[in-house]
Amino acid sequence: MMSWLVIIFLLLATSGGLAQERKASSLEEHGRTLAERMCSACHAVGRLGESPHVSAPPFRALDRRVELDSFTERLREGLTSDHPDMPTFRFMREDARALPLYLRSIQAP
């Protein structure tokens, strides 16, 4: 009887972790969609390729220019840049969580 309880406990604990992983993947995918829709006209938003706009950094190297740990707050407050072609963006909470998750997933080693 005790071994069944242990097995059930392990299954429940594992399924909770899987649900959390699926949610993270879903948010990451949402971040990719946002990047493609809002940013790809100027930035390379994937692991490969050049940015269409010569002065727009590729997103796979963004961690060298931006602190990704605080990037969520910057997105919520209103992301601005010194570059005149860069529009100002302000993200809703879920979008502001999703984009940095995606950015982390594509950073070059």
Domain 2-106 CATH (choose: 1.10.260, 1.10.3470, 1.20.5, 1.10.760): 1.10.760
Torsion angle defined by CA atoms of residues 36, 101, 53 and 40, in that order, rounded to the nearest 10 degrees: 0
For the chain, the domains span 2-106
Look at 19 and 72; give whichever has higher pLDDT.
72
Specify the DSSP class assigned to residue 88.
Answer: P
- pLDDT tens track for 69-91: 888 888 888 877 777 778 888 88
Look at 43 and 13; give whichever has higher pLDDT.
43
